[in-house]
Amino acid sequence: MTPSALPLGDPAPADGILPAQAAVGAADRKFSLYAHIPFCAVRCGYCDFNTYTATELGGGASQDAYAETAVREVEFAARAMVASGLPARKLSTVFFGGGTPTLLPAGDLTRILGAAVAQWGLEDGAEVTTEANPDSVTKESLQELYDGGFTRVSFGMQSAVPHVLKVLDRTHNPDRVPQAVAWAREVGLNVSVDLIYGTPGESVADWETSVRTALSYEPDHISAYSLIVEEGTKLAAQIRRGQVPNIDDDDHALKYELADALFTEAGLSWYEVSNWSRTPEDACQHNLAYWRGDDWWGIGPGAHSHVGGVRWWNVKHPTAYANRLDKGESPAAGRETLDADTRAMERIMLTSRLSEGMAINTLSPEARKAVAGLIAQELVEPLKAFAGTLVLTLKGRLLGDAVTRALLD
């Protein structure tokens, strides 16, 4: 999952060596790998992730050669980390995102995974996920993934309602989803589904149908995202031209509350604003690594990485990406080295979204004072706050950014 617009930052050196700050305290931090697969069969109208169709790339050649290029970045990453003075760490999670990773043959994905495991090793019981579109998997391909070390699959279900899927430009037949989930189960994979709510034209009843349908597949995990209208997408243009109605925050709020109620009733619990899991162990560990500020290396075009307060991102286009690696250079397009204040700010921004919450004693005196106001506004759980942890209420989850701003004033 990599959005298309890259941030502006400092230039990144060709040798990929990280600033000294990256290595400080690294031995005590977990390390994850993200692998971006920038290919899709078609581009969905709402999506601005860094992904390309075969036509956009002028043929399937770059898809065929992609695994090899990605493996090259794995090797480059391993060397650069050693050269930057980082200690050897086993991978605590791996996540293949897209685009549509399962558009590549399963063998390509397991090959990349294998190369990473060969470099770093894998912690016992580590979570290894791939995203998948329901119509790009077969039982055999899922079996191959499982055999190659994957433990978890996340399906882009989005909705169970045909007219909503149509507005979203999703090509899959909704009946494919239960089939794919069942196969994944059978081969031994842990299963998550992604849903999107608030699509133009989606009624509350439609959303309820999607939620109930998703629950009927009994997944271990559900992500529910409110539809974001990204600039430059087909959907944004359709809204601008009045061809589809605009999205509405109140509708989103209502649907979030409905989803949370139905998920909870079905025995799932929220652990992050947009994520629910059946048990705490089913929470996506890779996802948590992002919110907790752990280290990860992101390979692939446009992928983002973070190591010890250094963030960087790769060049976006698969060809530019491959060219860099062919020359033995870092594919990074830019990076930023966060200062202590910025890291503190990010920590608040990220950890306040989690059900495990944020330790109040790590906040500044002003921010600690602001907590009282947040309790009064019913945005923060009072009992948890008295016990020293800031945890959002349901209302607070919906106003999460306002909470963050209040804590940063």
Partner 1 sequence: MSPMARTAPVPAATDPAIIRNFCIIAHIDHGKSTLADRMLQLTGVVKQRDMKAQYLDRMDIERERGITIKSQAVRIPWEVDGTAYCLNMIDTPGHVDFTYEVSRSLAACEGAILLVDAAQGIEAQTLANLYLAMENNLTIIPVLNKIDLPAAQPEKYALELANLIGGKPEDVLMVSGKTGVGVEALLDLIVRELPAPVGDPNAPARAMIFDSVYDTYRGVVTYVRVIDGSLSPREKIQMMSTRATHELLEIGVSAPEPTPSKGLGVGEVGYLITGVKDVRLSKVGDTVTTFSKPASEALAGYHDAKPMVFSGLYPMDGTDYPVLRDALEKLMLNDAALIYEPETSAALGFGFRVGFLGLLHLEITRERLEREHNLDLISTAPNVEYEVTLEDKKVVHVTNPSEYPSGKIAEVREPMVAATILAPTEFVGAIMELCQTRRGILGGMDYLSEDRVEIRYRLPLAEIVFDFFDILKSKTRGYGSLDWKADGDQVADLVKVDILLQGEQVDAFSAITHRDKAYSYGVMMTGKLRELIPRQQFEVPIQAAIGARIIARESIRAIRKDVLAKCYGGDISRKRKLLEKQKEGKKRMKMVGRVEVPQEAFIAALTTAEAPKDKSKK
Residue 254 DSSP SS3: helix
Token couple for 216? 């009927």
Relative orientation angle of helices 106-120 and 139-147, to the nearest 10 degrees: 10
**97 interacts with partner 1 by CB under 8 A:** yes
**311 interacts with partner 1 by CB under 8 A:** yes
Residue 242 DSSP SS3: coil
**134 interacts with ligand SF4 by CB under 6 A:** no
Q: Quick one: what does residue 104 bind among ligand SF4, ligand SAM, partner 1, none, with the CB cut-off 5 to 8 Å set by partner type?
A: none
> What is the smallest separation between the CB atom of 156 and partner 1, expressed in angstroms?
13
**183 interacts with ligand SF4 by CB under 6 A:** no
Contact stretch for ligand SF4 (CB under 6 A) within 38-46, 56-64, 202-210, 301-309: 38-46
**Cβ–Cβ under 8 Å, residues 152 and 191:** yes
> What is the smallest separation between the CB atom of 14 and ligand SAM, expressed in angstroms?
29
- Side-chain-side CA neighbours of residue 253 (13 Å): 10
Contact stretch for ligand SF4 (CB under 6 A) within 23-31, 39-47, 116-124, 324-332: 39-47
**290 interacts with ligand SAM by CB under 6 A:** no
Q: How far apart are CA 340 and CA 361, in angstroms?
A: 17
Q: Which is nearer to partner 1, 124 or 250 (CB)?
A: 250
> What is the smallest separation between the CB atom of 210 and ligand SAM, expressed in angstroms?
12
Binding-site member from 73, 108, 194, 272 for ligand SAM (CB under 6 A):
194
**Cβ–Cβ under 8 Å, residues 220 and 282:** yes
CA dihedral angle for residue 59, residue 61, residue 63, residue 68, rounded to 10 degrees: -170
Q: Quick one: what does residue 311 bind among ligand SF4, ligand SAM, partner 1, none, with the CB cut-off 5 to 8 Å set by partner type?
A: partner 1
Q: Which is nearer to partner 1, 49 or 217 (CB)?
A: 49
Q: Can you name the residues that pair with 96 across neighbouring β-strands?
A: 35, 130
Site string for ligand SF4, 71-100 (x = CB under 6 A): ---------------------------xxx
**44 interacts with ligand SF4 by CB under 6 A:** yes
Q: Quick one: what does residue 43 bind among ligand SF4, partner 1, ligand SAM, none, with the CB cut-off 5 to 8 Å set by partner type?
A: ligand SF4
- Of 254, 251, 203, 265, nearest to 394 by C-alpha is 254
133-142 burial, b at 16+ Cβ within 10 Å, e below that, comes to: bbbbbeeebb
Binding-site member from 63, 129, 133, 314 for ligand SF4 (CB under 6 A):
133
> What is the smallest separation between the CB atom of 170 and ligand SF4, expressed in angstroms?
7
> What is the smallest separation between the CB atom of 341 and ligand SAM, expressed in angstroms?
30
- Give the angle 3-329-51 at the CA atoms, nearest 5°: 20
Q: How far apart are CA 342 and CA 320, in angstroms?
A: 31
Q: What is the DSSP letter of 244?
A: S
Measured between its terminal Cα atoms, the distance across the chain in Å is 31
152-168 burial, b at 16+ Cβ within 10 Å, e below that, comes to: bbbbbbbbbbeebbebb
Note the residues at the interface with ligand SAM (CB under 6 A).
1, 46-47, 49, 97-100, 131, 133, 156, 158, 194, 196, 225, 227-228, 230
Q: Which residues bind ligand SF4 (CB under 6 A)?
A: 40, 43-44, 47, 49, 51, 98-100, 133, 156
